[in-house]
């Protein structure tokens, strides 16, 4: 499933069931509670739930006034100790997760509140190249090699010239259409 909350396996101490969203089964991310019944879910899960049905998935109470942030629960969860989600590898080829060895995985540990900032800089996070049209993905720490390698440079050059060629073809096609309209107009006048 797509993680709406924080994956439970990144917590150094298994989180209490109180901290687990009953919609996505991850640890609550941006915990929010229904005003009517007080049940708490991840903010994104709660939004999806309200869009699908106007009742609480736990107690089926009709919810009409929306939700409020559960700041107390957010603060408690933000203080929990976690490891980087990139401590595991999904690239074993068989679809099963495997633990990285110390040399190939991220060893960062910190609190949930520091996790977002770490993920923005983590060298082990899989990212996209960023060059327009390039679909290459790799770990952040390896991206510079992709961009500076002979193959990477050739691929980016090819993409650049394909874009330029396509733009030239479009301009030529527009000019041709304009000329055809002029010719049609002239034939209609005669």
pLDDT digits (tens, 9 = 90+) for 24-53: 999 999 999 999 999 999 999 988 877 777
- For residues 33 and 30, give the distance between their C-alpha atoms in angstroms, rounded to a whole number: 10
Residue 6 — φ and ψ, nearest 5°?
-90, 130
pLDDT in tens, the chain (190 residues): 566 899 999 999 999 999 999 999 999 999 999 999 999 999 999 888 777 778 888 999 998 887 899 999 999 999 999 999 988 655 444 444 545 444 568 999 999 999 999 999 999 999 999 898 899 999 999 999 999 999 888 898 898 888 888 889 999 999 999 888 888 887 777 6
Residue showing tokens 């709660």: 46
Separation between Cα atoms, residue 147 and residue 48, nearest integer Å = 38
């Amino acid at each position: 499933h797509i993680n709406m909350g924080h994956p439970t396996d990144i917590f150094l101490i298994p989180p209490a069931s109180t901290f687990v969203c009953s919609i996505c089964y991850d640890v609550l991310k941006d915990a929010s509670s229904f005003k009517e019944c007080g049940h708490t879910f991840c903010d994104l899960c709660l939004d999806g739930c309200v869009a699908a049905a106007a009742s609480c998935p736990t107690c089926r109470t009709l919810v009409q006034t929306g939700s409020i942030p559960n700041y107390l629960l957010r603060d408690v969860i933000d203080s929990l100790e976690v490891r980087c989600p990139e401590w595991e590898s999904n690239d074993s080829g068989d679809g099963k997760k495997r633990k990285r060895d110390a040399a190939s995985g991220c060893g960062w540990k910190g609190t949930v509140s520091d996790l977002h900032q770490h993920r923005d800089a983590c060298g082990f996070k899989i990212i996209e190249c960023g060059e327009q049209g390039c679909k290459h993905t790799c770990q952040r720490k390896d991206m510079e090699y992709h961009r500076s390698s002979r193959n990477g440079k050739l691929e980016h050059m090819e993409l650049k010239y394909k874009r330029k060629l396509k733009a030239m073809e479009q301009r030529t096609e527009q000019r041709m259409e304009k000329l055809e309209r002029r010719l049609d107009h002239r034939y209609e006048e005669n």
